[in-house]
Structure 1
């Protein structure tokens, strides 16, 4: 009887740990899709396409306005970003050595 209770508790904790690990292992895109699916499920099925269309138009409009206002800065970022990557890697490596005491990886 005692072993069954202990096994049940152990299995429950292990299942929760697996779920937490799966959630933590999800990337940004998977989390974004999960948020979108939970948001879109609020609406009735026959109206979900309308809500999706409104979201797409809003995102496209925001991106268009961003590009229209900041096109020069976007070009500068695209040109300079590859050169910044080694610098950012060096800063990150130095910070991890400082905080953790050894390089990651």
Structure 2
């Protein structure tokens, strides 16, 4: 009985391990698997060696100091409202000709 279990375990292990073997070539379906994820990751990578025309961006210390002072006093300038869509503004078609 003990030998039968060992044979069964050995045969099962061989079958399971044979499923792991590959011929070293990717199939067409798996060649591009994960490509969208890799492209999204690469789009988020910052250029490690950026090249700028100027040494440093221009800034104004006076404007920055005034902005900090307005923030401390609670008198921050509100940005202009910009609409990004025209929902319900018309221009849609009914889909029929």
TM-score, normalized by the shorter chain, greater than 0.5: no
More helix by share: 1
Aligning the two structures, in what range does the TM-score lie when normalised by the shorter sequence? Answer: 0.3 to 0.5
> TM-score normalized by structure 1?
0.31
